[in-house]
Amino acid sequence: MTDDPPPDAGDNANDQAIAELRLALTGQADLPGTLRAIFLRDLALWLALFAVAARMRFAGDAAERELAAFIARAAAECDEAGVLMPPHDAEILVRSMLGPVDIGDFDPAHFDLLEGMNSLLAILLREWRPAGADLDELLTRTASLCARSRAVLPGMALLDKLTHVLAADTVPEEVEPELEAALEADGELSDFDSGLPFGEVMARYLRRTHQGAIETAARLRDEGDIAGAMAMYREVTDYGETDLVPQAAYELGRLMVQAGDPAGAKAPLTRAADSGDPQWSIPASVHLGVALEMVGDAEASRAVFERVGASGDATWGPEASL
């Protein structure tokens, strides 16, 4: 028998934060204060909580109507409390937690970054009041998403160190060299010092994030962790739009077919096939045809293979025509 490895300090801190959240969400601690403290020391966990809470709360047929009403109420409440959070920016922030969104002229300079964002999440959780199984699911999914995010978000460890700068308005002396290196031309956070419009900065950062997720997914796949790999590919397909989404959708669908879920694989494979991406569209179509055949839709499968055969693709066209 071998000794278990010592617990990771990050895991312990994560467990502590999850326990603090449970107390706050069950009325045993101050919710806004708890959220603010977590924002300042563990940005990845705070963002994961916001994303999971929004996705759970605004699900179902009535989601769009409920979401619009919530954004209006939350922005009005922020205004009454003297917290700068315009409705336009509030809407983009909340919708960005749910999936791809056009951020347009969104810029953190328009609102109170710390208090505004924290107020939105606090209001969401206060109105929703998750309890029982919903609370357990919220905290479990938050911890899982946080772990995945830490593995792929560029500069996340440094950002965790810097979030309290929002309150102190100064960069700790011991962090300055690390920050300077991250902002250099080839650094993890270089886009934030590029002078580009905020929308372009975030588009570049999102692509870096997607690239990291795809690389991590490939490693997990090669190590035999198929579930972990599929979760990473979903981080790309479910959040944001970059030129890497067709690749992630193809890889996710391919793994789902191999794992015996051809029905589930149809959506990501269709997305990749319809993307028109010169590298991933045709192979995704081939695997989509296989998935359709596996679920018994021979007519749709034949139509897909006919399109591949007529595509003129030198690699897949002849095979699909057989």
Of 110-114, 241-245, 286-290, minimum mean pLDDT range? 110-114
172 occurs within a structural domain: no
Same domain, 18 and 111: yes
What average pLDDT score do residues 80-106 get? 82
Same domain, 194 and 139: no
Same domain, 138 and 213: no
CA separation for the pair 166, 113 (Å, rounded) = 8
165 occurs within a structural domain: no
Quote the number of domains for the chain.
2
What average pLDDT score do residues 194-199 get? 60
Provide the total of helices (H) and of strands (E) in the chain, helices listed first.
Answer: 17, 0
Check residues 149 and 39 and name the one with the higher pLDDT.
39
179 occurs within a structural domain: no
Of 153, 173, 208, which marks where a domain is finished?
153
Same domain, 16 and 133: yes
Residue 10: predicted pLDDT: 47
Check residues 184 and 130 and name the one with the higher pLDDT.
130
Residue 96, C-beta contacts closer than 8 angstroms, at least 6 positions apart: 103
- Each residue's pLDDT tens digit, 271-287: 999 999 989 999 999 99
Query: pTM for the full model?
Result: 0.65
Same domain, 100 and 228: no
4 occurs within a structural domain: no
- Concatenating the DSSP letter of every residue in 244-256 gives THHHHHHHHHHHH
Domain that holds residue 199: 190-320
161 occurs within a structural domain: no
294 occurs within a structural domain: yes
Of 93, 126, 153, which marks where a domain is finished?
153
291 occurs within a structural domain: yes
Confidence of residue 235 (pLDDT cuts 50, 70, 90): confident
Residue 118, C-beta contacts closer than 8 angstroms, at least 6 positions apart: 32, 35, 36, 39
Same domain, 281 and 204: yes
Q: What is the CATH number of the domain that holds 194?
A: 1.25.40.10
Task: Return phi, psi of residue 54, to 5°.
Answer: -65, -40
